[in-house]
């Protein structure tokens, strides 16, 4: 059924449609005192946190676990919320709102799915070119770590 013909299943009245942002998740995966970054296979190219779109009917936490597994082959646990990032210009392709989690990874990380490559980085040795607003997210993560000490 095309989206321009949505109707109420009870009364048949047309349903007004709105143009809404897309929910996404990003995950800061901690493993061996480093964090996992992927090199994106698809545009925009560059290094990024693992993450992606939330599927319909999926919780944010389940989306984070799925995206981590799909892109890095890692299982994640100890999910902690870092924050939400909603700047309409954070992704040039469309308006997304990302919920960012911190998590502990287990297993052997390997690039998979949308990831062309994968590497472990310390916060002091991050790549110069990060996609989207991931430099800001990682700066917030570093500040959160300092606040915990």
How is the chain split into domains, by residue range?
Answer: 20-148
Q: DSSP code of 95? A: -
Cβ contact 100:85 at 8 Å: yes
Q: What is the mean pLDDT of residues 1-16?
A: 77
Phi, psi for residue 104 in degrees, rounded to 5: -95, 130
Query: Each residue of 68-115: pLDDT tens digit?
Result: 999 999 999 999 999 999 999 999 999 999 999 999 999 999 999 989
Round the CA-based radius of gyration of the chain to a whole number and report it.
Answer: 17
Query: How far apart are the C-alpha atoms of 93 and 69, rounded to whole Å?
Result: 24
pLDDT band with cut points at 50, 70 and 90 for residue 1: very low
Q: What is the pLDDT of residue 3?
A: 54
Note the pTM of the prediction, 2 decimals.
0.89
Predicted local distance difference test score (pLDDT) of residue 12: 87
Spatial distance between the Cα atoms of 35 and 59, rounded to a whole number of angstroms:
23
Closest by CA to 42, choosing from 91, 96, 83, 99, is 91
Which fold would CATH assign to domain 20-148? Nucleoside Triphosphate Pyrophosphohydrolase (3.90.79)
């Amino acid at each position: 059924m095309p989206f321009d013909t949505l109707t109420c299943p009870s009364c048949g009245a047309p349903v007004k449609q709105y143009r809404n942002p897309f929910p996404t998740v990003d995950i800061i995966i901690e493993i061996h005192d480093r964090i996992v970054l992927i090199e994106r296979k698809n545009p925009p190219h560059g290094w990024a946190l693992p993450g992606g779109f939330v599927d319909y009917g999926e919780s944010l936490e389940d989306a984070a676990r799925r995206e981590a597994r799909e892109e890095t082959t890692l299982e994640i646990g100890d999910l902690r919320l870092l924050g939400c990032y909603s700047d309409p210009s954070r992704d040039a392709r469309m308006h997304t709102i990302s919920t960012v989690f911190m998590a502990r990874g287990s297993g052997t990380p390997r690039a998979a799915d949308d990831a062309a490559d994968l590497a472990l980085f310390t916060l002091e040795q991050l790549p110069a070119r990060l996609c989207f607003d991931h430099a800001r997210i990682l700066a917030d993560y570093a500040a959160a770590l300092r606040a915990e000490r």
